[in-house]
Amino acid sequence: MRKNSTGALFLMELIIAIFFFSLASTVCIQLFVKAHLMSRDSVDLNKAVMWSQNFAEAFDGFDGNLDDISNALNCSMNGSDTLLLEFDKNWNQIDSSATTDPSYSVSLENTISGDLHRGHIVCIDIKNCKTIYELDIELFIREAIEK
């Protein structure tokens, strides 16, 4: 009788240990998945900021001239006052004639009011339908300031 009670106690201990390790492994897996998602979001944000900065620098350097910006950054015109860049899932730029579906887009909308050019840059995650980054820029036309 005594031998059976020690076997049952050992079995109960083993079950509790397995339960504890399975619970700990579940928590660890959730942490690794969350860390991976945060890392991917961080990469997306860094790339979105970089491309927004490229648009802003080109906007300033070309005095808000969308044709020059389009030629410099190899992007497409979307209407008369908007530029559009599209990227695949690895943030490699794709052109509008490509058969690959874009995963991300960066657009620059230009508005002119008097001597002031205003640009609104938006980076969008197309697959998840969310805005990653936005930037508003303003530029006074240099010829108007020099007069």
66 domain-assigned: yes
Task: Supply φ then ψ for residue 106, to 5 degrees.
Answer: -125, 125
Whether the CB-CB separation of 59 and 75 falls below 8 Å is answered with: no
3 domain-assigned: no
83 domain-assigned: yes
pLDDT-based confidence at residue 101 (cuts at 50, 70, 90)? confident
80 domain-assigned: yes
Domain span holding position 134: 43-146
Residue 5: is its pLDDT beyond 90? no
Give Cα separations from 15 to 1, 5, 18, 25, 29 (angstroms): 21, 15, 5, 15, 21
Listed in sequence order, the residues at least 6 apart from 115 whose beta carbon sits closer than 8 Å to its beta carbon are 140, 141, 144, 145
79 domain-assigned: yes
Listed in sequence order, the residues at least 6 apart from 82 whose beta carbon sits closer than 8 Å to its beta carbon are 107, 108, 109, 110
18 domain-assigned: no
Number of domains in the chain: 1
5 domain-assigned: no
pLDDT-based confidence at residue 44 (cuts at 50, 70, 90)? very high
Residue 3: is its pLDDT beyond 80? no
135 domain-assigned: yes
